[in-house]
Structure 1
Amino acid sequence: MSIPSVLVFPFPCQGHVNPMLTLSQKLVENGCKVIFVNTDFNHKRVVSSMVDQYNEESPLKLVSIPDGLGPNDDRNNLGKLCDSMLITVPEALKKLIEDNNNIHLKGDNRIRFIVADVHVGWILNVACELGIKGALFWPAAAALFHLVSSVPKLVDDGIIDSDGSILTSKRTIQLSPSMPEMDTRTLFWFHMARHMGGSHYLNFLVHHCFPALNLTQWWLCDTAYELEPQVLTLVPSLLPIGPLLRSDHYYKTNATLRSLGQFWEEDLSCMSWLDEQADGSVLYVAFGSFTLFDQNQFNELALGLDLTNRPFLWVIREDNKMAYPHEFQGHKGKIVNWAPQQKVLSHPAIACFVTHCGWNSTMEGLSNGVPLLCWPYFGDQPYNKTHICDELKVGLGIDKDQNGVVSRGELKTKVEQLFNDESIKCRCVVLKEKVMKNIAKGGTSYENLQRFVKEIKE
């Protein structure tokens, strides 16, 4: 039987690359070859973070194409990045596929299927042009997929205007009677403004990305039925295949192996440090690849960790420009630039996760039964916080004061509250068991992935 080659293309942000690389590893485990396409800029970062561990002969091959921006352009300006990619990527991708398929006129290495992040869904037009089948992958909550696909109706019903601004005095909107109401303050496009004009982002999704749903019937999502039953019942075409986690054997047989696809090199010394801590004693503090604090907020966070008087593992990216406050002791903690997060969260020493509520972090926390202290930054994170705290009831929100700052006292109070809340801990364990059943043989997510693999192989 021939081995099909699949091209996988994520949006060029860490939170999009991670789940799509894990999906790629699942495809390889199920007998596919994968050509994983990063932008040139991110490809260099990914390969350098691997510390000579990347194998060119692997059935998972890393390649790259230009994003159209100059070497000194700011890739955190997502509006500029999206506009540039729309112009540059289609031709570059078409050339990559044609060059590959011309070299391999027959056999396994011809690209026969494309999996695109919905945020670059427009590349399925290239797939159609070349007669290649495609699928779309949504790396966030299913509820937000449904929200974006409902935008034309929300505009028609006079609830929002075409820029996404709320036209009603109501504080909540409801997409369906079977779904919980959504706080209009958590509509994710309002929280994108600092990286991309809010309306620009919404219009980009609605006009360039979501029309690609008409080009394929395969819509995949990194979620599990128990996490979002109402919306997955409402949108049966959206197939949950999550939680997308690196395989157990991958970690158990490779204790020193770094996770593929990271933009920063993982500091594995934190694992031996965790081994020295008591079970259920450590605060894990990590805010993802985008969050940046000002000096005042950074000080409050550092001094708040001291105030808790508990051991902590704190991830501070190397692009952090803030100085530690002079009163900061930090003697109970370990600070690293980047951590192997899935390994960390599965460690018995971890008691709770202080998180920005990115969807990958949320899924990894829930999959390991770790209570979440929610401190959202932008994008979909305020919605995820509400879902974690109000619907799933497996975490607590951290509140800002009248100046928009999370005080050291607030952090200490919420840490103590979470450590002492047995009902949250119990719900975390129950939810973990339910969620993990999905990816075991016979589970919904497992079976959906098997159906998808069968489609690729046919």
Structure 2
Amino acid sequence: MKNPNLLVVPFPVQGHVNPFMNFSQKMVEHGCKISFVNTDVSHKRVMSSVGKQESLEESATIKLVSIPDGLEADDDRSDLGKLCDSIVSTMPSMLEKLIEDIHVNGGDRITCIVADVIMGWALEVGRKLGIKGIFFCTASAAMFALKYNIPKLIQDGIIDSNGFPITKGTFQISPSMPSMETEAIWWSNVYNPTTEKKIFKYLVHCMQNSNLAKWCICNTTYELEPSTLSCVPKLLPVGPLLRSYDNTNVTARSLGQFWEEDHSCIDWLNQQPRSSVLYVAFGSFTLFDQNRFNELALGLDLINRPFLWVVRQDNKMAFPNEFLGSKGKIVGWTPQLKVLNHPSIACFLSHCGWNSIIEGLYSGVPFLCWPYFTDQFRNRNYICNELKVGLGLNSDENGLVSRWEIKKKLDRLTSDEQIRTRSLELKETVMNNIAEGGGSSENVGRLLSWLKS
């Protein structure tokens, strides 16, 4: 038979596009073809980033296509409630038309839709067109279990019908799973109640389609989340899903990035002593106010060690007048996995997005945790309390993480040999999963057998 032709549909933010692209490239290595569906806005950003590097011809096995998200060009896409409303009212019909166009124009027929858990409506489109489906959770298995168990959370009185926690404290989805804080209910810590209600309603709609998926895959491993994976037997761990830096084709390596990567940081890291550099990166969504930005900048001066700080091009904050930054390098975007694997990196000051956690664990790097929103608070607790490979930064009475707190926790982290040892042990465990015979590698094999059957 012909090789499978997968249509992949990530949620239109960098933190979801990245693991989808890593998964797509892994599938291509096994003979699959990919139609990668971004929104028009995300597609434009990806093409702009790639266009500055080289031609896309060598990446022909991953065909980049796009459909509108329904918002106007100047609408605020960081308003997740507005974005979710627009996606669900616009994109299903557009996706159906795209698939029909692919089929009519003589392209290989789509054999399977791989839909982001929070683009679950795409599987409804697949059912209508007779195309089988896979669910892909780009967050942790624990977050999938949380979404999957929304009806139970309502029934047990943990959340109300709008998704808001009824009481503060801890709860358990299952007796065999670790307890979670109510702040782990990520859709209720985003912005404001109106937006949160919209996100919850959208989420419930997407999760209703989980029964349409033959497989649900997740960027995790058995060893990282054993109890959670035993509670959700349908969930198949295929992580860590990572970019390949062995590929000589720069475009294939950078495909899916919303910003052009600054590779000069690697030359700079080459000049720094081993295990000396604090790497600071807060992902694609975190927004600082001026006070927090000032404290971070002045904290980096205070630590008196080299730092590599990612300040995105869309940052609107001004550097404080007192900021020297003489020991550091500031860049707009990095090849993060390559940075984290560099021998000069000592630790990672992170917002605790799941991709960053997976990349940090794979690299054996301890974490300083400063979550921003959604699942990042639960991820911080997981890193600090369950895996014990990091320390959390605490806010003062004004809700501010001070420069002194940054210095104090960094000093503690870098002098703690036990954390460093645990980080390196976890690195080996995580790496073994994608080696031949590893758990995730075997699961990818099962997935491919099903796709090709």
TM-score, normalization by structure 2 = 0.97
The alpha-carbon deviation at position 254 of structure 1 amounts to 5.4
Of 216, 228, 243, the residue aligned with 2:213 is 216
1:225 match: secondary structure = coil
The match for 2:43 is: 43
Report the CA distance shift for 1:426/1:195 in structure 2 as closer, same or farther (over 3 A): farther
1:314 match: secondary structure = strand
The alpha-carbon deviation at position 85 of structure 1 amounts to 1.3
The match for 1:30 is: 30
Which moves more between the two structures, 292-301 or 185-194?
A: 185-194
The match for 1:392 is: 387
Of 435, 440, 449, the residue aligned with 2:435 is 440
The alpha-carbon deviation at position 200 of structure 1 amounts to 2.2
> Is 1:182 aligned to residue 180 of structure 2?
yes
CA deviation string 1:424-457 (max 9, x = no partner): 0000000111111111111111111111112112
Q: How does 1:218-367 map to 2 (within 5 A)?
A: 218-250=215-247, 253=248, 259-367=254-362
Amino acid at match of 2:342: H
Amino acid at match of 1:63: V
Report the CA distance shift for 1:54/1:190 in structure 2 as closer, same or farther (over 3 A): farther
Stretches of structure 2 that go unaligned for 5 or more consecutive residues are none
Amino acid at match of 1:8: V
1:293 match: secondary structure = coil
Stretches of structure 1 that go unaligned for 5 or more consecutive residues are none
1:226 match: secondary structure = coil
The match for 2:77 is: 75
The match for 1:153 is: 152
CA RMSD of aligned residues (A): 1.5
On the 8 A contact 1:258/1:266 being kept in 2, the answer is no
Cα distance in 1 for partners of 2:278, 2:185 equals: 29
Report the CA distance shift for 1:178/1:421 in structure 2 as closer, same or farther (over 3 A): same
The match for 1:409 is: 404
The alpha-carbon deviation at position 177 of structure 1 amounts to 1.5
On the 8 A contact 2:81/2:196 being kept in 1, the answer is no
CA deviation string 1:128-177 (max 9, x = no partner): 11111111100101111111221211211222211222334x61101111
Cα distance in 2 for partners of 1:9, 1:159 equals: 31
Cα distance in 2 for partners of 1:195, 1:428 equals: 38
The alpha-carbon deviation at position 79 of structure 1 amounts to 1.1
On the 8 A contact 1:78/1:196 being kept in 2, the answer is no
Amino acid at match of 2:67: I
> How many residues matched?
451
Report the CA distance shift for 1:307/1:256 in structure 2 as closer, same or farther (over 3 A): farther
Of 204, 208, 212, the residue aligned with 2:202 is 204
Cα distance in 2 for partners of 1:255, 1:396 equals: 35
The match for 1:61 is: 63
> Is 1:85 aligned to residue 96 of structure 2?
no
Amino acid at match of 2:219: D
1:167 match: secondary structure = coil
2:259 match: secondary structure = coil
Which moves more between the two structures, 20-29 or 52-61?
A: 52-61
On the 8 A contact 1:37/1:64 being kept in 2, the answer is yes
CA deviation string 1:343-396 (max 9, x = no partner): 111111111000000000010000100000000000000000000000000000
Cα distance in 1 for partners of 2:53, 2:99 equals: 27
Report the CA distance shift for 1:256/1:238 in structure 2 as closer, same or farther (over 3 A): closer
Cα distance in 1 for partners of 2:311, 2:289 equals: 13
Percentage of matched positions with identical amino acids: 59
CA deviation string 1:396-439 (max 9, x = no partner): 00011011111000000011111100000000000111111111
